[in-house]
């Protein structure tokens, strides 16, 4: 940094006095999101440092969320040497939310008010790499625990702000998986140099942190296919840079109910843990028609039915005969209809079964967001079935012609004998 002072040949005043300090840190932070790092990060922080970051969110009276992505501070019993302390307010007089040291990442911290104070202190010796943390506020962060929900980028459908990093964490009960449908997306486009999403982008991670498996990364004006987590948590992260802004995105998600589906050459067997749908009566879970409702056996909802009942039908997909039916799980409350549909499929020859979520909270919108490949396969299956029926009719006509030709030959032979 350089400070330049100039004066002309006229009018003089008292001038100024200033002081400087090496490794200055801390300050007042305001916004929907931001980043905090220890002095000199990622190099070792200095000794005898004391830094205070007073954060005020831009989301009204809502809470702030602080997430550490890297942490290495001198450890010790009771964190009496170097440490990071978090306070639920703008000063150290507020309740302490935690005091941390060592190399274990502090937990995700949520304040009760739109203020949070981060205090970092180091003693006279032994240091570490320090830390890096992100804060989120207002519509730039939220944790969802309901079985279904929806959310959008800040200010959607108006342009989102620049310089954001936002997180939306979906955390469902054990056994569930998370399926996200993209209803609308318009972000800054791909880089003309690399062809990648180097500027504004949305990313999905399997689990509750960014070190989980990447499920997808999108930018520009895209219509991504739905993504499904492998476990009960999924994280969506939006990055925006300091330049171009767009409309953003809108998504909806639904929890994929944990179930075990198997089949024989003649029957479907479906089993769902009662604790996964504890709020539902058994008649809200049925295969094909309400008359084929689940039974409660032990700790499970169970459906055991033959292929010739419960609305099952035979189809041909990819030149393979399969038995298909629809499992309905009715979450409706009052006049608000909310029925989730799963396609249950069996290949009898191999005794292999599968299940796929085909419609969630809003079937009309989700069906449009579904992967078009599924629809093509269904159309192909219907076409194959129609071709099979046509082929069967052709065989009957061919056999009839052969029988008629045989009769005509017998009559001709008898006629020749009589002559």
387-409 mean pLDDT: 50
276-305 mean pLDDT: 93
**Coil/strand/helix, residue 415:** helix
pLDDT for position 401: 58
H/E/C letters for each residue in 143-196? Answer: EECCCEEEEECCCCCCCCCCCCEEEEEEECCCCCEEEEEEEEEECCCCCCCCCC
pLDDT for position 70: 94
**Which architecture characterizes domain 27-136 according to CATH?**
Sandwich (2.60)
CATH topology match: 145-256 vs 260-377: no
CA-based angle 164:207:165, to the nearest 5?
A: 5
Q: Which residue has the tokens 């005020």?
A: 56
pTM over cut 0.85: no
Rounded to an integer, what distance in angstroms lies between the CA atom of residue 339 and that of residue 329?
6
From residue 71, alpha-carbon distances to 68, 79, 100 in Å are 7, 14, 9
Q: What digits encode the pLDDT tens for the residues 322-355?
A: 999 999 999 888 888 889 999 999 999 999 999 9
Percent helix, strand and coil across the chain, each to the nearest 5: 15, 40, 40
**Coil/strand/helix, residue 89:** coil
Please give the structure tokens belonging to residue 343: 């396609």
**Which architecture characterizes domain 145-256 according to CATH?**
Sandwich (2.60)
Which is more confidently placed, 20 or 33? 33
Fold that domain 260-377 belongs to in CATH? Immunoglobulin-like (2.60.40)
Domain positions in the chain: 27-136, 145-256, 260-377
Query: Percent of the chain beyond pLDDT 70?
Result: 85
Rounded to an integer, what distance in angstroms lies between the CA atom of residue 17 and that of residue 5?
12
Q: 170: closest CA among 57, 256, 66, 110?
A: 256
Q: What digits encode the pLDDT tens for the residues 108-156?
A: 899 998 999 999 999 999 989 999 999 998 888 888 999 889 999 999 9
Rounded to an integer, what distance in angstroms lies between the CA atom of residue 376 and that of residue 181?
19
Q: What digits encode the pLDDT tens for the residues 345-385?
A: 999 999 999 999 886 655 444 444 343 323 333 333 333 33
Which 8-state DSSP code applies to residue 211? T
């Amino acid at each position: 940094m350089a400070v330049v002072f100039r004066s002309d040949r006229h009018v003089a005043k008292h001038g100024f006095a200033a002081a400087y300090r090496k490794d200055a840190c801390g300050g007042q932070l305001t916004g929907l999101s931001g980043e905090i790092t220890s002095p000199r990060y990622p190099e070792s922080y200095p000794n005898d440092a004391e830094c205070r970051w007073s954060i005020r969110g831009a989301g009204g009276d809502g809470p702030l969320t602080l997430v550490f992505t890297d942490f290495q501070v001198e450890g010790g019993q009771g964190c009496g040497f170097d440490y990071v302390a978090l306070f639920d307010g703008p000063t150290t007089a507020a309740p302490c939310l935690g005091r941390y040291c060592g190399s274990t990442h502090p937990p995700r911290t949520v304040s009760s008010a739109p203020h949070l104070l981060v205090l970092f202190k180091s003693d006279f010796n032994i240091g570490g790499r320090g830390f890096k943390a992100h804060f989120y506020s207002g519509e730039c962060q939220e944790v969802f625990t309901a079985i279904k929900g929806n959310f959008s980028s800040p200010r959607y459908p108006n342009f989102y702000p620049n310089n954001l990093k936002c997180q939306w964490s979906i955390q469902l009960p054990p056994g569930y998986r998370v399926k996200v449908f993209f209803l609308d997306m318009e972000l800054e486009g791909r880089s003309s140099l690399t062809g990648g999403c180097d500027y504004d982008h949305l990313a999905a991670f399997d689990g509750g942190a960014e070190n989980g498996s990447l499920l997808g990364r999108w930018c520009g004006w895209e219509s991504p296919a739905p993504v499904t987590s492998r476990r009960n948590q999924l994280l969506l992260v939006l990055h925006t840079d300091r330049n171009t802004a767009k409309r953003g995105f809108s998504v909806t998600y639904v929890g994929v109910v944990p179930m075990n589906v198997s089949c024989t050459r003649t029957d479907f067997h479906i089993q769902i843990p009662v604790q996964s749908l504890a709020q539902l009566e058994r008649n809200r879970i049925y295969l094909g028609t309400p008359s084929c409702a689940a039974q409660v056996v032990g700790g499970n909802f169970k459906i055991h039915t033959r292929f010739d009942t419960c609305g099952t039908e035979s189809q041909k997909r990819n030149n393979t005969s399969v038995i298909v039916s629809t499992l309905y799980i009715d979450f409706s409350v009052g006049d608000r209809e909310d029925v989730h549909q799963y396609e249950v499929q069996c290949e009898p020859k191999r005794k292999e079964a599968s299940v796929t979520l085909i419609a969630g909270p809003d079937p009309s919108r989700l069906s449009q967001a579904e992967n078009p490949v599924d629809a093509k396969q269904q159309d192909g299956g219907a076409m194959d079935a129609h071709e099979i029926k046509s082929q069967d009719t052709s065989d009957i006509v061919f056999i009839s012609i052969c029988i008629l030709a045989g009769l005509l030959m017998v009559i001709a032979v008898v006629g020749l004998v009589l002559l």
